[in-house]
Structure 1
Amino acid sequence: MIIRRVNELRALVRGWKKTGVVGLVPTMGALHQGHLSLVQAAQQGADRVIVSIFVNPRQFNSAADLAKYPRTEAADAALLAPLGVDAVFVPDPDEVYPPGFASEVTVGGVALPLEGALRPGHFAGVATVVTKLFGMTMADRAWFGEKDWQQLQVIRRMVADLNIPVEVLGVPTLRDPDGLAMSSRNARLSAQARARAAALPLWMGRMAAGTPAHEAEAGLLAAGFDRVEYLAFHDAETLDAPRPGHPRRLLAAAWLEGVRLIDNIPA
């Protein structure tokens, strides 16, 4: 069931909430098996599941990147159909950001390093649209992929700080057989570049096992990556410098054939 209007979705959700838990899987479409793993996790943890598809213009730093982002509604609906989700929410931009829209949600702390430093305004766009989706869907729980680790921590921080009554759950990254994290952006790589992309999880694993960062970065460049934006250990929760006795995460962002790939692993 594809729904495009907030009032129509809420009419359904009000009834659903009387008898069970409503779950949300927010996406920007161009779905792949990684997204479907989120849906399957949601179906295990909620009585009704909404999948939202909305390419959020406010989280893109480049108009060209926004224009290139794939929009595949028919294919997405076909992938979701066998799973039997209860609603696919596909709002138009004016439904999310009506004329005169003038509000923004910003998060400090965990949103400031890494992606926050490299993509000013990105997490404000993410936090704003996720807050909107939580309000529009009235969901009780929401599932996000761990591939976007910093995004997950930003949303958790926002929900805690603003007392938003939504439980945020992370789902482990789904990977192709060669280790590359599944991503909608992978489809923009040529066959040759896609083969070279496997060097990213390879060198991250080596770095987690003790290879120095400069050697791992050199290995990526030798494998054909254009440049490495970051490849470093951080505190898993705060994304500050690692703290003794606290979980840490190795996070990476690198460019290959004009496509920006991000990944992270526990370390």
Structure 2
Amino acid sequence: MYIIKTIDNLYKKIQFFKKKQKKIGLVPTMGNLHLGHINLIILAKKYVDIVIVSIFINPMQFENSLDFKKYPQTFLKDCLILKNEKIEILFAPKISEIYPNGTNMHTYIQVPKLSKIIEGKSRPGHFIGVTTIIGKLFNLIQPNFAFFGEKDYQQLLIIKTFVKELNYPIKVISSPTIRLENGLAFSSRNKYLNDLELKKAPFLYKTIKDTINIIIKNNGNQLYETINFAKMSLTKKGFLVDIFNVYNSKTLDIFYKKNKNNIILASVWLGSTRLIDNKKFILPH
């Protein structure tokens, strides 16, 4: 496995693979790798000849420097995982390599509508940071395929939108959320949870599933009451609910009974940790 830290060295490797007409796949990460990331790597190997994993904790997508500084860094462990998975290239640049003049005045990519609603409303600027770094990685690596998990569903939709609208010749492939047996989605932020919070955390996904069952049973009627009941259940369990609602899974517009494809998006705080989750469902007519 090559560990590449500079753009110049990355370019040389990419050109080498391109000349050999190798198909390249990118799995972008912020490190602290878990089973969700490994699942994406396994998926990528089915599509491409060369899998490149990036590890870059992107300061542009954090709302404050404290959150950025406390993000878990496990670089040596991550390298062992990637070596075990027989990855060809790990791209792990320093911040100064990606943002030589800092992030404040850096050119950015924004998907106007999708970046400002739901999670984007609660975390202004977050998705601009995400799309900008992904755009930069796409330009640097020029992958044929890029692989993302569905846990960050709004992020996935935003990336698919800018790839389409900016005419990137890249196919975005998504993978369903990987969960523990108790339903808790794998996330790097789970490391912030204490033992008691870890026991409570799976209640979020259980509530999402229970809410969907009620919505389908009621054929979309009494939605306001159903959502409110879910929020109250989460609050009683010790969660602070920021987002919990039903949206069109293709446009992220608010639920409308004639929509066939729907999704519950949820963002909650458990202690000092923000957890996000989702589940799609079809409302039969």
SS in 2 for 1:209: helix
Structure 2, unmatched stretches of 5+, are: 216-225
Distance 2:236 2:101 in 1: 49
SS in 2 for 1:234: strand
Match of 1:179 in 2: 183
Match of 1:83 in 2: 85
The alignment status of 1:36 with 2:35, answered yes or no, reads: no
Displacement after TM superposition at 1:109 (Å) = 1.9
The 8 Å contact of residues 33 and 188 in structure 2, kept in 1 or not, is answered as yes
Match of 2:264 in 1: 250
Which contiguous aligned blocks of 4+ residues in structure 1 show a shift greater than 6 angstroms? none
Which residue, 231, 254, 259 being the options, matches 1:241?
254
Distance 2:57 2:127 in 1: 14
**Per-residue deviation, residues 24-55 of structure 1 (Å, max 9, x unmatched):** 00000011011110111111111100000000
**Per-residue deviation, residues 59-109 of structure 1 (Å, max 9, x unmatched):** 001211111101111011111111101100000111111127631111112
The alignment status of 1:144 with 2:148, answered yes or no, reads: yes
Distance 2:4 2:112 in 1: 33
The 8 Å contact of residues 200 and 220 in structure 1, kept in 2 or not, is answered as yes
- What's the Cα RMSD here? 1.2
Distance 2:15 2:182 in 1: 44
The 8 Å contact of residues 24 and 48 in structure 2, kept in 1 or not, is answered as yes
Displacement after TM superposition at 1:245 (Å) = 4.2
Which residue, 165, 168, 185 being the options, matches 1:161?
165
Match of 2:131 in 1: 127
Displacement after TM superposition at 1:143 (Å) = 0.2
The alignment status of 1:25 with 2:27, answered yes or no, reads: yes
Task: State the TM-score, normalized to the length of structure 1.
Answer: 0.96
Which residue, 58, 72, 75 being the options, matches 1:73?
75
Match of 1:266 in 2: 280
The 8 Å contact of residues 109 and 238 in structure 1, kept in 2 or not, is answered as no
Distance 1:235 1:108 in 2: 17
Which residue, 189, 205, 224 being the options, matches 2:238?
224
Q: Which has more radius of gyration?
A: 2
- In the alignment of these two chains, the number of paired residues is 266
SS in 1 for 2:197: helix
> Quick check: 168-177 or 103-112, which moved more?
103-112
Structure 1, unmatched stretches of 5+, are: none
Letter of the 1:73 partner, please give it.
F
Letter of the 2:142 partner, please give it.
M
Q: How does 1:191-206 map to 2 (within 5 A)?
A: 191-206=195-210
> Quick check: 158-167 or 99-108, which moved more?
99-108
Task: State the TM-score, normalized to the length of structure 2.
Answer: 0.90
Distance 1:145 1:164 in 2: 19
Distance 1:199 1:54 in 2: 31
Distance 1:106 1:119 in 2: 14
Between the aligned residues of both structures, percent identity stands at 38
SS in 2 for 1:49: strand
